Each structure stands twice: as structure tokens, then as C-alpha cells.
Amino acid sequence: MIYFDNSATTACIPAAVEAAKKYMTERYFNPAAAYAPAVQLEKDVSSARAVIASNMGADPSELIFTSCGTESNNTAIFGSLKAMRGKGRVIISAVEHPSVYEAAMDLKEQGWDVRLAPVDITGKVLLNELSGLLSPDTRLVSCMHVNNESGAVNDIDAIYALIKRTAPECLLHVDGVQAFMREAPVRCDMYSVSGHKLHAPKGVGALYIRKGVHVKPYLLGGGQESGFRSGTTNAPSIMAFSAAVADYSEHRAEYREQILAVKKRLLSDLSRIRDVKLNGPDIDHAAAHILNVSFMGVRGEVLLNALSEKGLYVSTGSACAAHKRGRNRILNAMGITGERQDGAIRFSFSHFNTPDEADRAAALIEEQVNILRRFRRR
């Protein structure tokens, strides 16, 4: 098996598995309880919060735990707007993850003035276009840090400065699911992350909320997470998330180098195949772990299935939108259409991948692309 779909999810590292197991079988208490082991568990969760927050450049009090990136995004968007008086303008980039895009479309149905900020052909937000959309009544801008399909890295610090200069009361929410621990911390008002994109289990995420930003709770109940997010604390997954973050923090430069080596090898190997086009930034300006290319004359879905039969696992876009048929909204916004869009495949890597896997993957891809092109010409 060769797994090149790490933007969809990642394998848990052993340290995360052991942490989860320990807090499921030994320290399984409810941290809201009053007896000593539960009180200690609450302290352990606080320590985990501090580890994750410090790697975001945040204070632990600014971090709440959620179940996933989607919940973090929805909480940031709906919770912050619910805390405001009256409706106004909401801006998202044209290439946002479905959890942001669909939330914005729901707001539009409620009467909010929702605008889409255009991007360039790599998937990066055009600052001059965003500037033109900002107005005095703009309440929220939501923009991803790293695009999950193209690997484009937005200049969040520049976007934040632009917003505060033009519409000082406007909040900036950043979807950092693909960027956390891979890119440097940025200035913003809210920042969403997810554990399973970083070798922790599924079912845990977090949301940074800058001190002074008002967010109404999205889930009501027992008042956990300082009242921001009710529900029994998922201690096993939180401790596993902390273990994964600690591991990535210790090996960040090493992991990035390993991932880049795989990406560069695969891109070099794929250059042997004719009519292959890169979708997104060049390697020096993209997130290290994402590569999107089009194989002209081949349908991406057909190629994906052919590769899957051979044990190579890739994707044609966001796993969260894989069940939806029709055109690719992200590539459309980037101006990639027609045959080039049809043939698009996303590869995404982790430090578990190797250059040898890239060589074997490229050989499989070349074989299947040639077969599919011959079949299409008949």
C-alpha cells in the first residue's frame, strides 16, 4: 500500500495511540467529577491544552477543544456572528473548505451579505480584490491558511493587517486545519485546527479565540470548555492530540524535509509523463505536503479507481466533498476548468512516506495513464 492522501486523514503515531489507550483504560474518569483521579485528569487536560496553545502562539485560556475542524469552523463563524448586533457583510475566500462555504451559504439564506473573495490560479487570495470587498459593515472574514486542494499558502498576517486597517471591527477567522504545525503561527482572531490531520485520532479539534473576541456557545449544556463548548471532555483524544503536537514540534524541520523530498521526487518522476500540468503554486511557494496535478486526456475519478486497485491511494479533492457530484468548486475558482479539471489528482504526504514510494507510485501512474489514454482514443 502507498498512502498519498494525508490531507484527508493521517495515521496515528504510536505516542498518540498510547496516550489515547492510557486515558481510555486507566485514566478514564470524567474530569468534571470531584474525586481525586478526576481532578488529576482535569490537570492533565490543562497540560495538553498548554502544549497545543503554545504551538499556536496562544495562551491556554484562548483555546477550546472541539470534535473536529468542521465544528471549530462552524463555532467560529456562527458563534462570533451570533454575538454581534444586526446583520452585515461576511467575506470568505472562493476556495474555502465545505465547512466554511456551506456555513456562509446558510448565512446568506438568513439575510447576511455574503461575498466570495477571488483567488489567483494557484488558489491564493488576491489581496487587492479582498480590499475592494471590505466595507464598514463587514463583520467577519474567513480565510484558510493553507488550501487543502492546491497547497496555496495565504499571507494571513497581510490579510489581518488589511482588515484591521480597513474595517477595524471586523473579525478574521482562519481555517488552519492543513497549516497547523506545518506553517508559522499567524495573527488572527480565531483559528481552527483538527487532530486527525496531524497524526492524532479522529474526533478531536480545537479553536483559538483571541482574548476580547466574543463568541456565543454553539453547543449548550454542562458548560465545559469555559462555557464555550458543552459536552463531556474527550480526554483520550485530547491527550493523543497533545502527544501528536509535541512529537511534531520536536521533529518539525526533519518531517518537513522528509515530506518535501517525497514531493519533489514524485513531481520529478511525473515529468516523464506527457501532458501533466501542475495545479497550484510551485514547490518553493506551496505547503510542503500537498501536490495537485492534472493528467490531460484522463478522467481523475477513473484514474483514482485504477490506482486504488493497485494499492495507491490518492484523491480528486477534499474528502469532505467527495460524495458530491459535479464540477470542482475549488478548481473552478482558480480558473482551472474543462479537461484540466477533469484530470486533476491531489497527492498529499506525511513523514511516513518515502522517496521510494514516490518512484513506485509514479511508475504505477504512468502505466495507468498510458492505458487510459489508449482506451480513450479507441
Q: Are 198 and 9 in contact (CB under 8 A)?
A: no
Same domain as 183, residue 57: yes
pLDDT in tens, 66-106: 999 999 999 999 999 999 989 999 999 999 999 999 999 99
Same domain, 137 and 201: yes
Residues 241 and 93 placed together within one structural domain of the fold: yes
- Banded model confidence at residue 227, pLDDT cuts 50, 70, 90: confident
C-alpha span between 181 and 189 (Å, rounded): 18
The torsion of the CA quartet 79, 321, 330, 293, rounded to 10 degrees, works out to 140
Task: State the residue for C-alpha cell 458530491.
Answer: 324
What's the pLDDT at 320?
A: 54
Do 38 and 159 share a domain, yes or no?
A: yes
Residues 6+ apart with CB under 8 A from 168: none
Residue 220: which pLDDT band, with cuts at 50, 70 and 90?
Answer: confident
| Of residues 307, 316, 325, 327, the one with CA closest to residue 372 | 307
The residue among 219, 246, 273 that closes a domain is 246
Last residue of a domain, one of 230, 246, 262: 246
Query: Could you read off the pLDDT of 37-52 as tens digits, one per residue?
Result: 999 999 999 999 999 9
Residue 230 has pLDDT above 90, yes or no: no
Q: What is the DSSP string of 42-70?
A: HHHHHHHHHHHHHTTT--GGGEEEESSHH
Domain identity same for 198 and 53: yes
What pLDDT, in 10s, does the model give residues 250-265? 999 999 999 999 999 9
The arithmetic mean of pLDDT across residues 231-238, rounded, is: 94
Verify that 181 and 237 share a domain, yes or no. Answer: yes
List Cβ<8 Å contacts ≥24 apart for 301-307. Answer: 302/372, 303/343, 303/345, 303/365, 303/368, 303/369, 303/372, 304/345, 306/368, 306/371, 306/372, 307/364, 307/365, 307/368
**87 shares a domain with 63:** yes
Q: CATH no. for residue 372?
A: 3.90.1150.10
Please compute the mean of the pLDDT values over residues 172-179 and round it to a whole number: 99
Give the CA dihedral 34, 36, 38, 42, nearest 10 degrees: 100
Number of domains comprising the chain? 2
Amino acid at 33: A
- Of 246, 272, 292, which residue is a domain's last? 246
309-367 pLDDT, tens digit each = 999 999 996 555 554 556 899 999 999 999 999 999 999 999 999 999 999 999 999 99
Is there a single domain that holds both residue 97 and residue 183?
Answer: yes
d(CA 273, CA 59): 49
Question: Is 143 an active-site residue?
Answer: no
DSSP-assigned letter for residue 296 = T
- Is the same domain home to 217 and 305? no
pLDDT reading at 129 higher than 90: yes
Which listed residue (12, 143, 170, 320) is catalytic? 320
Q: Tell me, what's the pLDDT at 65? A: 98
Task: Quote the domain boundaries for residue 164.
Answer: 14-246
